[in-house]
Structure 1
Amino acid sequence: MDQKLLIMNNMKRLGFSEYECKAYLKLLEDFPLNGYTLSKNSGIPRSRIYEVLKNLIDKQMVFEQAEEKNKLYYPVEPDVFIKKLKAHYEDVFSNISEYAGKLYREKKQDDRLVVIKGRQNIISFLNLLIKGAEKRIAMSVWEEEIQEITTELEKALNRGVGLRGIYFGENKPYETLTIHRRIKRYMEEKKERYMSIIIDRTHMLSGIVSRGEDSQVTWTRDEGLIEISEDYIAHDLIVNLYSASLDEKEYMAFEEFADTVHNHYFHYSDEEFAAYKKLI
């Protein structure tokens, strides 16, 4: 795209009309000009040029100076114009943010459950949530997924956001993540990859992410559901960190006990339990 056309499109996105863009950019190239000459050089109809110039004067992008019987128009220097525009929009955004935030905080508990479908949509939304993280991220996540959120995670860590959780993979990318015990056995046992990620105790994303476009997760801000997910991740951390602290004999006894609990919970048949025990 032509650079001038690109700049005009950017200016339009800031609320300037096409004629305002043309007039200001033409004045930057050649000034001072009277209205007639500017109309001729810019292609703006003579019937519109003075209306356009008045708008630019009101926006403090152009100023007018009378010389003898002629009115000449000068552009405000780009640096001055840009600084003023930035200050204006920062003020606008600040006011909107303050008022909208107040309205949002005054809302009752948000208990919506929003289903997000498609693995790429899920990853994109997760990166957006991580980008807004301020204090803490808790996660239970597999290697395949963490590879696609590393960039935003790194930025979050660099700005001081804490990270804790369980990692399903053999080489953990962050020291603050804990590899799930008996990871090879666990990965062979599970038929699906899932994630449970909590951002600042205000957002929770949880669901299956191993089905490509058929993957789906639930996003919620419901405090109760977030607390359940927090407890799940915290419990998993306790079990895995405790087992890692045991000596070999204690560890084998612990895993034998864990297998027994697993068997009773799922009510395996003898054949099913034997097959489970054979997993790596």
Structure 2
Amino acid sequence: MLQQFGFTQYESQVYQSLITVDQPLDATSIVKRSKVPRSKVYEVLHRMIEKGIILETTIEKKRLYTALPIDSMVEKLKADFEMNVQQLRNTKVKETPVDDRVWTLKDDQSIQAFMKDLLENAETSIFLSGWADDIAKYLPIVEGKYRSGIPVNIHVIGEIKSAIPTISTLVPDIEHETLERSRILIVDNMEMLFAGIEDEKWQAIRTQSRPLVKFFTEFFYHDVALTEITEKYRDTVMRDKDIREVLLKLRY
């Protein structure tokens, strides 16, 4: 029950044994209900008392224990989380030189969080490419940067609504649905992140390597050029089977 919040298995078992009964329990009863070894139960109870997640009392020389109510526990977990987040935010980060190594990053939530962080810290320019439902997640940040005077260029597959004028939009044909999703983010012409799906899972690379940043910036313009050509000459290129097949093989 509580392991996903950083508590031990024994702590979780003791809490569950207490919260699922409507009366206080002594240590012997807790051992029976929780299956925590008798040799460990007092140590576990002491830790939980110190953490404020169980209450104790002594009646006729007998110690009894009860659990912090679920609603109170939820509030405590939220408060602890917010305090830990604030401590993390207050951690002093050392300034580092340009890092031209290529770093890999897995897990979609981590990739999205890293992209938001890059966008929020952008100071001179933003290049952003991806599918419409992906781009929409970052629009509030990007539009805020645009309003502050930072040049923003977006290439999007699918339509989005935005006041940013420098958006290149590719409205996909049915054939485009087979294209694998990807994201490109380049900030301040000095740091880039490229994310794609491999084995049905998002993976990304991030670097400040100048050659790679330049390559992916050119790759961004390559996508924009292909989109503009395809849109302007759609009737011509889509009627030509060979040209259409080549275009649909290219990664937008």
TM-score under structure 1 length normalisation: 0.52
Instruction: Quote the offset at 1:24 in angstroms.
Output: 0.8
What's the offset of the Cα at 1:146?
A: 3.3
Aligned length: 196
Question: What secondary structure does 1:44 align onto?
Answer: coil
2:3 is matched with: 12
The one-letter amino acid paired with 2:8 is S
CA deviation after TM superposition for structure 1 residue 227, in Å: 9.3
**1-structure distance, mates of 2:204, 2:74:** 43
User: Is the CA contact (8 Å cut-off) linking 1:27 and 1:38 kept in structure 2?
Assistant: yes
Q: Percent identity?
A: 24
User: Which whole-Å CA distance do the structure 2 matches of 1:129 and 1:179 have between them?
Assistant: 22
Aligned-residue CA RMSD (Å): 4.5
Within the alignment, does 1:76 sit opposite 2:64 as a pair?
Answer: no
Decide which of 134, 145, 166 is 1:178's aligned counterpart.
166
| 1:32 aligned partner | 24
Specify the SS of the correspondent of 1:102.
coil
Counterpart of 1:220 in structure 2: which amino acid?
Answer: T
List aligned pairs for 1:177-216, cutoff 5 A. 177-178=165-166, 197-199=185-187, 203-205=191-193
- The aligned residue for residue 112 of structure 1 is 100
Counterpart for residue 4 of structure 1: none
Report Cα offsets for 1:23-64 as digits up to 9, x if no partner: 111111112111111211222222222222112111111121
Q: Secondary structure at the match of 2:10?
A: helix
SS at match of 2:90: helix
- 1:90 aligns to what? 82
Between Structure 1 and Structure 2, whose CA radius of gyration is higher? 1
Structure 1 pair 116/94, CA: closer, same or farther in 2 (3 Å)?
closer
Cross-structure match for 2:176: none
Rounded Cα–Cα distance in structure 1 between residues aligned with 2:75 and 2:110:
33
Summarize deviations over 1:172-200 as a string: whole Å, max 9, x none: 764424367xxxxxxxxxxxxx9863236
Residues 205-225 of structure 1: per-residue CA shift (max 9 Å, x gap): 479x8xx99xx9974336x67
Alpha-carbon distance between aligned partners in 2 of 1:56 and 1:169, rounded to the nearest angstrom: 52
Q: Which residue of 2 aligns with 1:221?
A: 208
Describe the SS at the equivalent of 2:72: helix
Tell me the residue number matched to 1:44: 36
Displacement after TM superposition at 1:110 (Å): 1.9
Mapped contact 1:127–1:149 kept (Cα < 8 A): no
Q: 1:47 to 1:130 in 2, by over 3 A?
A: closer
Which ranges of structure 1 fall in alignment gaps of 5 or more residues?
1-7, 181-193, 241-280
1:156 to 134, 141, 151: 141
When residues 171 and 90 of structure 1 are mapped into structure 2, their CA distance, relative to the original with a 3 A threshold, is closer
Does residue 160 of structure 2 align to residue 147 of structure 1?
no
Counterpart-to-counterpart distance in 2, 1:37 and 1:102: 49
Q: Deviations over 1:58-89 (max 9, x none)?
A: 11111211111321112122333333333333
1:64 aligns with one of 41, 51, 56: 56
Match of 1:134 in 2: 120
Question: What is the rounded CA distance, in whole Å, between the counterparts of 2:6 and 2:103 in structure 1?
Answer: 35
> 1:197 touches 1:206 (CA, 8 Å); kept in 2?
yes
The one-letter code of the counterpart of 1:221 is Q
**What CA distance in whole angstroms lies between the structure 2 residues aligned with 1:27 and 1:199?**
52
Q: Which amino acid aligns with 1:68?
A: E
Q: Is the 8 A contact 1:167 1:177 kept in 2?
A: no
* CA 1:196–1:232: 2 relative to 1, 3 Å: same
